[in-house]
A and B are shown apart, each in its own frame.
Chain A
Amino acid sequence: MGIRLRVSRQTLAILEALLARPSEWHHGYAISRRTCISSGTLYPVLMRLDRLGWLETKWEDSDVSGRPPRHLYRLTGDGREWAREELRVARQREFWKPAASQA
């Protein structure tokens, strides 16, 4: 990939969560629960990924009537490639251990 960014551990955790089922759409709260990252950290990362064009977003009507539509996220094709590369580099540098090996 042409672009290299300094990514934090939290970003790597979010990327890993999104890559776990890359073709599926994810809710913000679900990502937060999976990564144990608070909303105040999660959304700025999602916003940045969206701005870079590596995140797809869409609105989905809630199953429960009266509730507002929910926002869904998944990585774009380029985003997935970039995320995999970032996670690989981070693992090589021992900067990042995947959630499975941590457990």
Chain B
Amino acid sequence: MTTPRPSLTLRLVHSSINFALRFWPEESRHWGHALAAELDEIEKPFEALQWALGGLMLFARASASRFLTWLKLPAGSRLSAASFPSAAGAPVLPKRSRLFTAAVLLGSTVLFFLPQSREAISTVRASWREFSASSSDLRAVENLGVRAEKEKDARTLAFVSLILPDSERGRTFADRAVALDPSLVWIYAGRVGGPSQDELARLLESDSDNAVPELLAAHSISETRFQALISSGKMSDQAVVAALASDHAWVAHMDQAFRAPRYDSYFSRDWQLTREVWNREHTLSPSIAFCSLWSHSFPDNRSIKIYANVLIRNSQEAFAAGHPQEAKNLLEELDSFGRRLTEQSETYFERAMGLDLSRRATSELRSLYRSAGKADETEAAGQHLQQIESRRDALVNSFRDMEPAQLHMLQRRAIFVQLSAVFAVLLVVAIAASLLTLELRPEKKGNLGLRLRGLICLGADWAPVTLLAVFIALLWAFQPFAGILRAAHSAGSASAAWHTMHFEGLFILSTTLGPFMEPFTPYHLWQASTCVLVAFVLCLLLRGFLRHKPA
């Protein structure tokens, strides 16, 4: 007669208790066996299940108790009695318990995950790359694009297309963004590498009263001309001017640009988009915001200068030919464009270019009035010229508006931030190495082993506390830079953001690194490695000589 096969529940119950018994802490395992033995006496599957659940709870309590006991011991110590010999052979162990180390490390981890700390760490990391976007930053942006594509978020797609380098992927994101929201067509102008012919056509059509699309169209023609001149080996200033002045399409676009009532290089719209996404996506590196400011395409400075020269030359020719009104109109057209550039643009670069165009136009006008014997107009032009000069001086001086005391404070803090960050990285490595060595490797014999073990114990005792202190110091030192980032996050205009982030301090974090990085330049590393190699070879030779020295 065969015994009936136990039910699935009973088999499951027995397997789970047997499994728990395999891992049951040694000191209370006999209680586990006692509980498991009773299981055989229970016939009803549901009761057996309840009994086994109680057993598993007991197992969990015993394991937790053992874990707590283990935590209360220093790193590297074992729970078994063999680890606690009272004689002289006792292993060298850290003074602090695992619990203390874990609590301190937990504190550091909590601090690490605070938004302020994450911002500080990502900013310091970005400063180590001089705020250029790393491949991981770009990957994060691309992932953002993929998510935005799923969510049909046109503005985020537009942001991603503006950040990503000139690539098919960037173009795809741009097309998708414009398809979802046609008012975002301006992103074609702001993209790295400028717009393609199709994109340019759409831009010209959608923003016909703006000078910038016309300037971009002229730029695409001038680029083709420059390439042709370079490949034919006839590149010179005169050749460039002659080639462009004779190109009707280029002249037509420049003429349209200079007559257009608006000048908008979309820099502010670009920044608004960046700010919107940057404020929402807290994990984005500040490098991305910098990238947005840096990578924005501006109209071609060279084409504008060449066309200004063409206008001035045409004006002089008209005046010489006895058409002073036509000459005046041409110069006024140039001055008007310069004023639009100065008043409507967002960047210092464009404003300076606008002031320069106005200065040249006004200077020519003054000469023209003087030649025509118009004293009042000559004097008015002279006064206008002085105003332009003073505006240009004010613009140049606005670059140096940081107080020396504030600059020094930021420099000191930047050094503190960088040293804290580097120290924190070293401490993390030291903690990982010391704890892993203590837990995984038995004590080495010999004096050197003992000394090394002592050093490792010192690291395990002090490195976690030091890391916590360094984190707090880093956060304190980063405060002024956090303020700069806050100001940038709330900066309403692109120029304000540019000014805040670039000229008022954040870059000090990168420039401070210079003296520290000097020993790690390829030249110095090569020098150091050469010295080490030479010393090594000399040691080998000396050793060989001493060994083979005749007695």
Footprint of B on A, CB under 8 Å? Answer: 27-29, 32, 38-44, 46-47, 62, 64, 67-71
Contacts and interface: CB of A to CB of B under 8 A. Distances in A.
A67 B37 contact: yes
A28 B34 contact: yes
Given A43-B55, A68-B36, A71-B34, 14 more contacts: A28-B35, A28-B38, A32-B51, A38-B53, A39-B38, A39-B53, A39-B58, A40-B54, A40-B55, A41-B54, A43-B35, A70-B38, A71-B30, A71-B38
How extensive is the interface on chain B, given as a class?
Answer: 20 to 34
A45 B33 CA distance: 16
B114 to A, nearest CB: 39
B50 interface: yes
A44 B38 contact: no
B230 interface: no
A68 B40 contact: yes
A70 B34 contact: yes
A29 B50 contact: no
Given A27-B41, A47-B31, A42 B36 contact: no
A38 B38 contact: no
Given A39-B55, A40-B55, A47 B28 contact: yes
B375 interface: no
B444 interface: no
Interface in B19-61: 28, 30-31, 33-38, 40-42, 50-51, 53-58, 61
A68 B39 CA distance: 10
B33 A39 contact: no
A64 B41 CA distance: 10
A66 B51 CA distance: 20
The 9 A-B pairs of least Cβ separation, nearest first, read: A39-B54, A40-B54, A71-B34, A40-B57, A29-B38, A68-B37, A38-B54, A70-B37, A67-B40
Contacts of A70: 34, 37-38, 41
Contacts of A40: 53-58
B304 to A, nearest CB: 83
Main secondary structure of the interface of A (DSSP, over half): helix
Contacts of A39: 35, 38, 50-51, 53-55, 58
7 contacts: A29-B38, A38-B51, A39-B50, A43-B34, A43-B54, A47-B28, A70-B34
Interface string B152-164: 0000000000000
Main secondary structure of the interface of B (DSSP, over half): helix
Nearest to A31: B38
A80 B441 CA distance: 50
Nearest to A68: B37
A70 B34 CA distance: 6
Given A29-B42, A44-B61, A47-B28, A71 B37 contact: yes
B37 A69 contact: yes
A65 B232 CA distance: 103
Given A39-B55, A40-B58, A47-B28, A62 B37 contact: yes
Which of A43, A69, A70 gathers the greatest number of chain B CB atoms within 10 Å? A43
Nearest to B36: A68
A42 B57 CA distance: 11
B394 to A, nearest CB: 80
A42 B55 CA distance: 10
Nearest to B40: A67
Contacts of B41: 27, 29, 70
A62 B41 CA distance: 10
Contacts of A47: 28, 31
B33 A68 contact: yes
Interface string B264-296: 000000000000000000000000000000000
A41 B53 CA distance: 11
Contact of B40 (A32, A62, A71): A62
Contacts of B57: 40
B530 to A, nearest CB: 69
Contacts of B36: 68
Contacts of B42: 29
Nearest to A71: B34
Contacts of B31: 43, 46-47, 71
A14 to B, nearest CB: 14
Nearest to A47: B31
A47 to B, nearest CB: 6
A27 B38 contact: yes
A94 B364 CA distance: 111
B85 to A, nearest CB: 26
Contacts of A69: 37
